[in-house]
Each structure stands twice: as structure tokens, then as C-alpha cells.
Copies of this chain bind each other. A is one copy, B any other.
Amino acid sequence: VANTIGGGSLSYYWQQVKSFFRRMLLGNPLATSVQLEHRLPIYLALPVFASDALSSVAYATEEILIQFEQSHFAITPAVLKLLLYISFAIAGLIIIVGSSYRQAIHLYPSGGGSYSVSRDNLGVVPGLIAAASLTIDYILTVAVSVSSAVAQLASLPWFKSLHVEVHLLGLHMPLTVIAALLLVAIIMLVNLRGTKESGWTFAAPAYAFVAFLGVALVVTLIRFFTGNITPVTHAESAGLTVAGAATGPIGLFLILRAFASGSAALTGVEAVSNGVSAFEPPEAKNAAKTLLILMVILVLLFLGVGWAVYLYHIIPMSTETVIAQVAHAAYGAQGFGGVVATLTVLATLLVLMIAANTSFAGLPRLLALVAKDGYAPKTFINLGDRLVHTSGIIVLSLAAALLIIGFRAETNALIPLYAVGVFICFTLSQAGMVRKVLEQKVPGWQRMATLNALGCAITFIVALIQAVTKFTQGAWMVVLVLPILVYIFWLINRHYKWFDETMTVHQYDYNPLTEPEEPLTVLVLVSSDVHRGILEGLECGRAIAASGPNNILRAVHIEMDQEKTPRLQEKWEMLVEPYIGQKIRLDVVPSPYRWLIEPIMDYLDWTDLERSGDRIIVVLPEFETGSWITRILHNYTGNRLRTALLNRPHVTVVSSRFFMKPMAWRLGRGGLVY
């Protein structure tokens, strides 16, 4: 287009800059056709999807102990024995729920987890309850994992200063909050770059966590058999035993609450079955294999930590996490052992970040599924430049950041909210599975149905325990938000249904568009001078009005300065007919208050009445000076006018823009300058 090569405009450079930073942060855009390549092999999928469950080892045992401590019970050997029993119960739970989800993978090879299972077998409302529960728990996973990761970091001597309180935007909060927000931002960016990268970035530390903690437990085993165990002594613990310690037997309610807190270890078990579509083909088989590996590692690590805590007589402390204490007790605090213990803590930190990352893999996919069913905003379906669900990632990051700020990045404070939703999901999906198995009667259906029914019953009981025992500690928020979220899903669906009903055209509908042709009214807005831009607008209006014999073409001038009108009318007489080829009536509308939009609307009302509501086409002749700086020298009213006119029914707005200067433009790509 030879006649439009030319200089640049500000928006052009602005586009360049935006595009540059976008690519630097997120990488080059990926075509839809490469989508399939971004599937994960088992050795990458395991760290991505299993780390949520694995990482809960880092805090689950600690949370059990904290329940006793918060009720003023000293952590005596008897209590630690109780911890062991609770840990065994939770390990049993892991095996039952995990096995049940392995069945779900084979029954639902397309992925979707609790939401798909509940929706398909139990109906829409249970499906939405599952979706809402999952949404809440994905967000909490990010908040809890990142908060715990920062706590791990603050356990190291070099990072004790993270406990310092600072001012932030008028809020007092410890530095840990800022550190946690930073971690969320980093995870968000990594995920906006796409899954493959996040797989590689996070695979190594996840394995390191398993290795370091595993070796620590093996060392503990060796110490146990060689009689080399030295229980940890605590100033804190001693003080607690002397003053204010509760006496008497430990009540059932407290034991159940401790069990409920510890069962946070189960969160993430469903992640694999929700993310089947991210696995390398054969998806279902690989996912099932991954889940089995996960269960084995999870049970071993969780029981191992519980047992080590029992042996070393470890007590929760505000300055050092239980994992850090186990590592120090096993490896020793000095010399080479101290270095390995520090590495164990760092690996724990990293695996917690991968756990947060699990949500970033899971929630956007879930929301996309829900959106495809019409219960969430359609924007969650869209794939960004890097083939990820951008909106879901951003919504998750913001929600987690709000939780972190609200709960001051304290894992203890967040845990009561956590896991309620997970067990609701478990219950619903197990119930769905029972129904599916009973209907399909695949080989071995009796055994499968029994397993799922057992899981359903147990997880339902655990969900109840969660909600009741932790209600006053914060679980009430989840009980409140869950139905609201379900209601919002339902409202969104109602809107989309209304949209489809209103907009969809059926073949044999009565159709107003094929009515006998209605004449058009074409109005061209004219400024106080008849310049080239106006003539081009008039020519455009004339061309449109030429489409039918009964169409009306008129020009309208809003008279803001009476003195200019005679000159306008003179030029009108002189120029319009010779240039446009026909006479055009010019209506001058007085504007006593020097307003622009209101007189136009009045004129349109009048036109509506006269022409009884036909469609009106308004031509806005604009001009473009070609550079940003000169634009402020003219009274640009185009955008304001266009917005106002577009908010009026029965008006079609035609924007005819006259380019005074050839302009360069480009939008986010390529090197073409027009």
C-alpha cells in the first residue's frame, strides 16, 4: 500500500515496548497446533502433580502437634504415641482415597476429577459443589504452601530477619508476607510461560526433597537400631510443662481436631486425576502409574516423619519447623550434617513451591472445564499466547495473594480453612464413582463399588469432622463461601442460557430481517467548517444512502457558536453539491449550553418520532492528525460521541476517519510498517 508508508505514532512505539516486555517475561507465542507436544512424561508429571500431596508432609505432622499444644497439653511421650496412631489412621485414609482415585482415572481418562465425576453421575448441583470446593482448596493450597515455604526459609539462621514487622501500604505486617507475595508472583510468571517449562524447572528439587527427607528417615532408622537416638530438649517445652499445662485425659473432640488438621496430608491426591489430559499418551495409564508412585512415597514419608518426631521427642516451635528439627536431629546441627540438614530445609521449601504450582496446573484447567459447561465466565476457556489459561492463572494468583495478606502468611491460621473442601470433593466423587460402577457393571464391579462406597463413607465422616471440629477456628468461612460460589456458578449459567435463548436464530423463526425493506435514515454530523474530513464523511453517507430509493440523507450541525453558522451555510452551498453530486439538507441544531452530545440525542429523539423508530445510521467524520502531540490541539470529541451513540438502541455508528498524514502502525507482531 504505497501511499501509506510513513512516520510513526506514539501508540506504535508503545505497542513495540509492550510486546518486547511481554516476550521477555513470557517467551514467544505458541501456535495452537503445538498444543499436543506440551504433554508431560511421568518423570515430569510426578513432581508437577504429586508435589501438593508430598509437600503436605512438611506441615501435616506439625499441625497435629500444634492442636495439642494450643489446648495447653504438654507434648509428653503419651501425646507423641497418640500422634503415631493418628498418623496411621491418616495413612490408611491416604490408601483408601488414593485407590479410589486410581479407579476414577480409568473410568475418566479425559481428566476432570471430582467435578466431572460428580456432574456426570450425581447431577449438576453436586458437580458445582465439587467445583466450588476444589476452587477454594486450590486457592488455599497456594496460600498454605507458600506460607509454609516462607516459614521453612525463616527457620534457617540466615533468614531469621524475615520475622521483622514492616509497614506496607499502611498495613503492619512481617517481612514473611512480602516474601510470600514475591513467591506467588514468581510462580505466576513461570506458569504464564507454560507447563513444559514449569515441569523442568521444578523436577529436580522435588526429587531432592524426597531424597533428603528419605535419607534423614533412613539415618533415623539406623540410629534407632544402633541405639543412637538423642531426644531433642526444648526450653519452650520445659516451660510449658511447668506452667499452664493442662492435665487430665485428652478429649475425643481434640483428638478428632488433631486428626482433621493432619488430614491436610491428603490434599492433592486428586490433582493427578484432575490433570490426566496433561500426561503423555497413554494418558490414563501414565496417570494411574504416577498416582501409585505418589501414594507409596507419601505414606512412607508421612509415617516416617511421625515416627521420627516420636523418637526425637520433637515439639512445634514458632522459629523452626518440625521438618527442620527432624533434619537437624537426624543429620546433626554442626559440620557436614548441618549442611545436609540445611539442604533438606531448602528442598522442603522448593517442594512447597511446586505444591503451589500444582494449583496453577489444576485450577485453570478446572475453571476452563466449568466454563465450557457454561458455569464460569468464558474467558477461562481462552488460551493465552503460551497455550495456558491466562485468566485462571491470574485469578488464582490474586486470590492467593489476598489470603496471604489477610492471614499474614501464617500456616497455622490458614490450616483450619484448608481440607474441608477437599473432603467434600472426595465424598462427592466417591459417591459418583459408586453410581458409575453400579451402572456400568465392568468386570470386578463388586470389588470396585465396595472400595468406593467405603471411601465415600469414610471421607464423608472426615468432611464432617473437619467442618465441626475446626468450625470456630475458621472453617465457617469455607462453609459460608461454598454455597455463595455455587450460587454464582448458577447465576452465570442462567445468564448464558438467557444469552443463547435471546441470540440464537432457528431456521424457521419469524424473522424481522426479511421484512419488506425499511428505509434507512443516514445522518452525517458536521462541524463548523466544511473541510476535507467532512466531505469524506458526506461522501460515505451518500454512498450508504444510495442503497435504497427511500433512504434519507441529512447533515446535522450542532451550533455551539452562532457566529460561525452563516459562514458554514455559505460554504455548504458552495461546496457540497459540486463535490458530493447532490444537495444535502443541513439541519442546524442550536446548543444554548454549548453541549455536544445532548443536542444530538434530542435530535435523534425527534428523528425517531418522525420516522417511527427505523434504524438510524450516524456518520461521524473524524480526522487523524497523525501524531499524538498534535491531537491535543484539536477538540477531539469522537470517542466520547461514539460511546454515547453506541449506548443508544437503533443507532448504527459509522466512523469515517480522514488521515491527514500517512501513519505507521503495527500491532504486537512482525516488522511490517504500512
Contact = CB atoms under 8 A, between A and B. Distances in A.
Number of copies: 2
B505 A530 contact: yes
Nearest to A662: B649
Interface string A369-393: 0000000011100111100000000
Contact of A633 (B496, B595, B609, B650): B496
A623 B503 contact: yes
A665 B648 contact: yes
A578 B655 contact: no
B32 A594 contact: yes
A565 interface: no
B623 A579 contact: no
A503 B532 contact: yes
A627 to B, nearest CB: 9
Interface string A623-654: 11100001011110000001010111111111
A126 B191 CA distance: 64
A258 interface: no
A634 B378 contact: yes
Contacts of A3: 613
A186 interface: no
Interface in A259-298: none
A613 B3 CA distance: 9
Contact of A625 (B499, B531, B575): B499
Interface stretch (A352-360, A399-407, A544-552): A544-552
Contacts of A382: 594, 635
A495 B653 contact: no
A657 interface: yes
A503 B520 contact: no
Interface stretch (A156-164, A463-471, A506-514): A506-514
Nearest to A598: B669
A667 B650 CA distance: 17
Contacts of A496: 633
B377 A633 contact: yes
A660 B32 CA distance: 33
Nearest to A592: B31
Interface stretch (A38-46, A301-309, A533-541): A533-541
Contacts of A654: 652-655
A124 interface: no
A611 to B, nearest CB: 11
Interface in A488-527: 492, 495-496, 499, 502-505, 507, 511, 513-514, 520
Given A499-B660, A539-B513, A648-B674, A31 B580 contact: no
Listed from nearest, the 5 A-B pairs whose CB atoms lie closest are A503-B531, A31-B592, A546-B547, A547-B547, A29-B593
Interface of A: 1, 3-4, 9, 11, 29-33, 377-379, 382-385, 492, 495-496, 499, 502-505, 507, 511, 513-514, 520, 529-533, 535-536, 539-540, 543-548, 560-562, 574-575, 578-581, 592-595, 597-598, 601, 605, 608-609, 613, 622-625, 630, 632-635, 642, 644, 646-660, 662-663, 665, 667-670, 672, 674
Given A504-B532, A505-B579, 9 more contacts: A1-B605, A11-B647, A32-B560, A32-B594, A377-B632, A504-B529, A513-B535, A597-B667, A598-B667
11 contacts: A378-B635, A379-B632, A504-B529, A511-B578, A511-B579, A544-B544, A597-B667, A642-B655, A649-B663, A652-B657, A653-B654
